[in-house]
Amino acid sequence: MTKDLRDFIRTIPDFPHKGIMFRDVTTLFGSAEGLRLAIAETVVALKDLKIDKVAGLEARGFIMGGAIANALGVGFVAVRKAGKLPGKTISQEYKLEYGTAVMELHDDAIAPGEKVLLLDDLIATGGTAEAGIKLIEALGGEVVHSTFIIDLPELGGADKIRALGVPVHVLCNFEGL
């Protein structure tokens, strides 16, 4: 029997708040079969993209991001939470469910004109991905595609990113919050 990618993703009820069904990709990453499947499905879907770099969003986007960059033969850049990168950075604030947060990127991570694939483990409301896109564009890069392991379609994040003109690829969807 061939396993579906969803079979490797654990759901934890009522985390971090009551009523939330947390989709935990650490079980996917912890399985050699699951991780290989996620990487292979992503690479096959995006292998014809003309990109210069993969930008992974903190923190789980780093795990897949490095592997995808390696498989595609391009560089990897880390989009991090504020205060985590040494050296000169640019910042972008974004909205959370309760308040705001800030993402940063080294000011020399993306050269003007570079084509970038944005990657994270999950897209919910799209705030973090939007911040990543704005950072890349502020440096003159072009986000030509985005990819996520999981989409929570009820929260509208993938549609938000598509509305910004960035195509979205997802490996699987989970209905319900």
**Which residues are annotated as catalytic?**
60, 97
Q: Is residue 52 pLDDT above 80, yes or no?
A: yes
Domain map of the chain by residue range?
Answer: 49-173
pLDDT of 97 strictly over 90: no
In this predicted structure, what is the pLDDT of residue 177?
A: 62
Q: Are the C-beta atoms of 23 and 170 separated by less than 8 Å?
A: no
| Burial class of residue 19 (count of CB atoms within 10 Å of its CB; 0-12, 13-18, 19+) | exposed
Residue 92 pLDDT exceeds 80:
yes
Q: What is the 3-state secondary structure (H, E, C) of the chain?
A: CCCCHHHHCEEEECCCCCCCEEEECHHHHCCHHHHHHHHHHHHHHHCCCCCCEEEEECCHHHHHHHHHHHHHCCEEEEEEECCCCCCCEEEEEEEECCEEEEEEEECCCCCCCCEEEEEEEEECCCHHHHHHHHHHHHCCCEEEEEEEEEECHHHCHHHHHHHCCCCEEEEEECCCC
pLDDT of residue 1: 53
| Cβ contacts of 29 within 8 Å, gap of 6 or more | 35, 60, 63
Give the tokens for residue 109.
């991570």
Residue 101 preceded by cis peptide, ω within 30: no
Residue 15's φ and ψ, nearest 5 degrees, are: -130, 135
Mean pLDDT, the chain, rounded, equals: 95
**Average pLDDT, stretch 122-139?**
97
pLDDT of 2 strictly over 70: no
96: pLDDT confidence band, cut at 50, 70 and 90? confident
Fold of 49-173: Rossmann fold (3.40.50)
Q: Is the pLDDT of residue 151 over 70?
A: yes
